[in-house]
Amino acid sequence: MVPFWKSRKFWYMIVDVVVSVTSFFVGKYVAPAATEDILFLIGALQPVVITLIAAVAYEDGQEKRAGGSTLILEDK
C-alpha cells in the first residue's frame, strides 16, 4: 500500500486547505471590506477541488479494478 503522502488526492486537499486559509486571513486582515467576497470565492472553489479529488479516486479505483497496471504502447 502506498503511503498517504504520495497520494495525489492528499496533496490536492493540502493545497486546497492552504489556499483557502491563506485567502481568508489575507482578505480578513489586508482588506476587511472584501471578506464577504473572499468567502464567496472560497465557497465557489471548494466544489471544484472536491470534484477533482473524486475524479482521481474514481480513476484510481478503475485502475485497481483493471488489474493495477497501465499498458503503455511504444512506437518502434
pLDDT tens digits, 46-62: 999 999 999 999 998 88
At 17-48, the pLDDT tens digits run: 999 999 999 888 988 888 889 889 999 999 99
Asked if residues 9 and 57 have their Cβ atoms less than 8 Å apart, the reply is yes
71 falls within a domain: no
End-to-end alpha carbon distance in the chain: 34
Residue 72 pLDDT exceeds 60: no
Domain boundaries, position 55: 4-62
Q: What is the DSSP string of 37-67?
A: HHHHHHHHHHHHHHHHHHHHHHHHHHHHHTT
What pLDDT digit, counting tens, does each position of 5-18 carry? 788 899 999 999 99
Q: Give a yes or no: residue 20 inside a domain.
A: yes
pLDDT of residue 50: 94
Neighbours of 27 (CB within 10 A): 19
Residue 72 lies in a domain: no
CA separation for the pair 11, 62 (Å, rounded)? 20
Residue 10 lies in a domain: yes
Q: So what's the pLDDT on residue 75?
A: 61
- Say which amino acid occupies 12: Y
